[in-house]
């Protein structure tokens, strides 16, 4: 399969009053056509900022460097005007909070149709018609009525469906979903994931799923990338990482997820807190919380290197990892 | 939307009645009366005058007579300016005042909204700083001083514009008064607009609009302006009433033939009919403006229509 996005050495920096914070450092990955990549990490691991920078949506004090090549264009550092040719058409994004992500003063159909008018030169009527078809496709009952509604007249799940419909109108090559199910009811979450899976398959859209919910990842992602302190620490096929994690952080994440089959009395959370991006520890960022850390981990930072077929990790520790013996 | 409009109109009626009542009685509480001249009138003449204007009746009866006439659209006679009734005086002066105030209103609103947007989009860059400076001048300099300064510069030193007075139909005579009146209004609106625009530009739905690749112009025009206008619109009603009342002073400064002249002299002379009539007129205008503001608000914010 051909790749639709190739990110090389991408870093994101925010200027603060008298310092700067590196939210993302030297990120490298490729996204293949139609695949689903899950980006996993705690709050503050840089997962959202990495993709906002690809969309050119960083806050004013944010800067991105490196390359994010889609087709034959590099999206990083592109002028907003240029970026508008691709945003919404070839690369679309869905945000975490469906309650505030739609414009409260515009009807649903207006917000959908404008995408087609802008990118596909549809006239208004045709755009509305196509939008209503898309609403039906994402499972909204009475799509004509909903299209004429304002966002506040819809439930959270319904609004997220509207967001999905909106993002897929131009059948983009890449869809970035930033915690699309976090703000939703658990029952709605599963439906939403099924919908993602089905639609991205139908359209051949590559999906980037930014989440901290490993349950979400297991059900839908082909590959996953685990982020910690602004860097990718382990990447690989979802199954490989789930059954045979090679980075202590991935292992810790898996152990802090409740599992219905294992009736343990307590969860094992990862000890400590995620590091402040302003004061990352010397050596490996994870070393203060790592049970396997040894001298080298405190001295130098492990680079992301090949660790078996189709997977990479950033860790010096090569021994077996059994969580029970260290926790 | 129509039901909403109707409800708002009906709710204005009791407010109008209360306002008229309060004005009527407060005015009568003030010491003195329309016939207390420097030279006392002979008692019989005074008695006849008071009988003619029903001033010899108990206050409540006078009030009921006034309300009864008001309902028929009659604002009563002027008690000081002989041979004129209040409606005539208003019809002479008010169109002029309204023209001045409305021109200032429209100009100030348009300039204020645009300036606020420019400042917000260029937050903390030079256009923002320049606009803040110009705006602050309008806010901190009181209108009588601003009027004098502009008269001096443009009327006397540069000689570009007439410093005062009125020639029928002459627009140059209106430029300075309208500027003095509009400046602080534009200033307040641009502050409001800047603040709300900055807030709206930071919202998630504007980020969504940007993520759709709509382009800066469409993002601003379709997604940001409407919600950003909400605080501005709620200011416009009271803002217009400031302009109408502010116009009274500005007319005096520039010697313009608006209603201000009558209102000020009537208040000093206790010309009950004229003061009440003018106040009621202003009240109706303000009620109507607030109604319009409410309707515009409902158009801007769909959630309001259901409250």
Report pLDDT digits (tens) over B259-301: 877 787 888 888 888 888 888 888 888 888 888 888 888 888 8
Chain B partners within 8 Å of A92 (Cβ): 211-212
Q: Is residue A144 part of a domain?
A: yes
| Contact assignment for B212 to A88 by CB distance below 8 Å | yes
Measure CB to CB from residue B211 to each of A55, A97, A110 and give the nearest one: A55
Q: Does B264 touch chain A (CB under 8 A)?
A: no
Range with the poorest average pLDDT among A1-10, A66-75, B81-90, B115-124: B81-90
* Residue where a domain stops, chosen among A169, A184, A201: A169
Q: Is residue A32 part of a domain?
A: no
Q: Does B217 touch chain A (CB under 8 A)?
A: no
Q: Is residue A219 part of a domain?
A: no
* Domain membership of residue A321 as a residue range: 251-325
Those residues whose C-beta lies under 8 Å from the C-beta of residue B101, and which sit 6 or more positions away, are B181, B240, B243, B244, B246, B247
Q: Residues 226 to 245 of B: which have CB under 8 A from any A CB?
A: 226-227
Chain B partners within 8 Å of A105 (Cβ): 226-227, 300-302
Q: Is residue A34 part of a domain?
A: no
* Residue where a domain stops, chosen among A111, A141, A169: A169
Q: How many domains does chain A have?
A: 2
Measure CB to CB from residue A95 to each of B204, B223, B303 and give the nearest one: B204
Q: Is residue A115 part of a domain?
A: yes
| Contact assignment for A118 to B218 by CB distance below 8 Å | yes
The CATH architecture to which B86-306 belongs is: Orthogonal Bundle (1.10)
In this structure, the dihedral spanned by the alpha carbons of residues A229, A235, A239 and A242, taken in order and rounded to 10 degrees, is -30
Q: Is residue A262 part of a domain?
A: yes
Query: SS3 letters for chain B?
Result: CHHHHHHHHHHHHHHHHHHHHHHHHHHHHCCCCCCCCCCCCCHHHHHHHHHHCCCCCCHHHHHHHHHHHHHCCCCCECCCCCCCEHHHHHHHHHHHHHHHHHHHHHHHHHHHHHHHHHHHHCCCCHHHHHHHHHHHHHHHCCHHHHHHHHHHHHHHHCCCCCCCCCCCCCCHHHHHHHHHHHHHHHHHHHHHHHHHHHHHHCCHHHHHHHHCCCCHHHHHHHHHHHHHHHHHHHHHHHHHHHHHHHHHHHHHHHCCCCCHHHHHHHHHHCCHHHHHHHHHHHHHHHHHHHHHHHHHHHHHCHHHHHC
* Residue where a domain stops, chosen among A140, A169, A198: A169
Domain residue ranges of chain B, discontinuous segments joined by +: 86-306
Report pLDDT digits (tens) over B119-165: 998 888 888 899 888 888 888 888 888 888 888 888 888 878 887 77
Report pLDDT digits (tens) over A218-276: 888 999 999 998 899 999 999 888 888 889 898 888 888 776 666 666 777 787 888 88
For chain A, the residues whose C-beta falls within 8 A of a C-beta of chain B are: 55-57, 80-81, 83-89, 92-93, 95, 97, 100-106, 110, 114-115, 118-119, 150, 152, 163, 166
Report pLDDT digits (tens) over A70-127: 988 999 988 889 999 999 999 999 998 888 999 999 999 999 999 999 999 999 999 9
Q: Is residue A94 part of a domain?
A: no
Q: What is the complex's ipTM, to 2 decimals?
A: 0.87
Measure CB to CB from residue A57 to each of B210, B223, B226 and give the nearest one: B210
Question: What chain A residue is nearest to B222 in terms of C-alpha separation?
Answer: A106
Q: State how far residue B289 is from chain A, nearest Cα, in angstroms.
A: 23
Question: What chain A residue is nearest to B302 in terms of C-alpha separation?
Answer: A105
């Amino acid at each position: 399969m051909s790749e639709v996005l190739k990110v090389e050495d991408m870093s994101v920096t925010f200027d603060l009053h008298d310092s700067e914070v590196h939210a993302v450092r030297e990120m490298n990955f490729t996204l293949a056509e139609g695949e689903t990549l899950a980006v996993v990490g705690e709050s503050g691991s840089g997962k959202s900022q990495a993709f906002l920078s690809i969309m050119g949506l960083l806050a004013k004090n944010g800067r991105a460097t490196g390359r994010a090549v889609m087709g034959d264009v590099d999206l990083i550092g592109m002028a907003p005007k240029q970026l508008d040719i691709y945003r919404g058409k070839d690369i679309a994004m869905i945000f975490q909070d469906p309650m505030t992500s739609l414009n409260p003063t515009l009807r649903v159909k207006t917000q959908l149709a404008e995408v087609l008018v802008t990118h596909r030169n549809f006239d208004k009527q045709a755009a509305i018609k196509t939008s209503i078809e898309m609403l039906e496709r994402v499972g909204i009952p009475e799509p004509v009525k909903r299209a004429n509604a304002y966002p506040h007249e819809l439930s959270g799940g319904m609004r997220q469906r509207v967001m999905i419909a909106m993002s897929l109108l131009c059948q983009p090559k890449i869809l970035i979903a930033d915690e699309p199910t976090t703000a939703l009811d658990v029952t709605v979450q599963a439906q939403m994931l099924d919908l993602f899976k089905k639609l991205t398959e139908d359209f051949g859209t590559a999906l980037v799923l930014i989440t901290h919910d490993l349950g979400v990842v297991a059900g839908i992602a082909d590959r996953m990338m685990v982020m910690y302190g602004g860097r990718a620490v382990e990447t690989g096929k979802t199954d490989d990482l789930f059954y045979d994690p090679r980075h202590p952080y991935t292992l810790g994440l898996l152990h802090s997820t409740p599992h219905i089959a294992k009736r343990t009395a307590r969860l094992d959370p990862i000890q400590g807190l995620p590091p402040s991006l302003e004061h990352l520890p010397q050596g490996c960022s994870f070393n203060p919380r790592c049970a396997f850390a040894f001298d080298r981990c405190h001295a130098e930072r492990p680079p992301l290197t090949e660790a078996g077929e189709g997977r990479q990790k950033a860790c010096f520790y090569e021994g077996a990892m059994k969580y029970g013996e260290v926790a | 939307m129509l039901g909403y409009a109707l409800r708002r109109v009906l709710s204005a009626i009791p407010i109008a009645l209360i306002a008229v009542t309060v004005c009527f009685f407060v005015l009568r509480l003030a010491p003195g009366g329309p016939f207390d001249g420097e030279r006392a009138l002979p008692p019989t003449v005074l008695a006849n005058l008071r009988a003619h204007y029903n001033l010899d009746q108990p206050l409540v009866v006078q009030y009921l007579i006034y309300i009864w006439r008001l309902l028929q659209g009659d604002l009563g006679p002027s008690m000081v300016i002989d041979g004129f009734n209040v409606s005539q005086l208003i019809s002479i002066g008010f169109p002029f005042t309204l023209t001045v105030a409305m021109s200032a209103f429209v100009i100030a609103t348009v300039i204020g909204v645009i300036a606020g947007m420019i400042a917000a989009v260029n937050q903390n860059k030079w256009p923002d700083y320049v606009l803040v400076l110009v705006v602050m001048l309008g806010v901190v300099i009181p209108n009588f001083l601003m009027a004098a300064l502009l008269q001096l510069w443009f009327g006397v030193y540069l000689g570009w514009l007439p410093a005062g007075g009125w020639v029928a139909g002459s627009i140059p005579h209106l430029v300075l008064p309208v500027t003095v009146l509009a400046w602080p209004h534009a200033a307040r609106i641009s502050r409001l607009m800047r603040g709300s625009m900055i807030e709206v530009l930071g919202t998630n739905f504007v980020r969504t609009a940007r993520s759709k690749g709509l382009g800066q112009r469409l993002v601003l025009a379709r997604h940001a302006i409407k919600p950003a206008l909400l605080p501005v619109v709620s200011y416009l009603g009271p803002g217009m009433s400031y302009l109408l009342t502010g116009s009274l002073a500005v007319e005096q400064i520039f010697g313009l033939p608006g209603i201000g002249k009558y209102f000020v002299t009537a208040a000093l002379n206790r010309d009950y009919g004229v003061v009440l009539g003018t106040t009621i007129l202003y009240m109706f205008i303000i009620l109507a403006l607030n109604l319009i503001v409410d309707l515009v608000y409902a158009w801007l914010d769909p959630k309001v229509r259901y409250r």
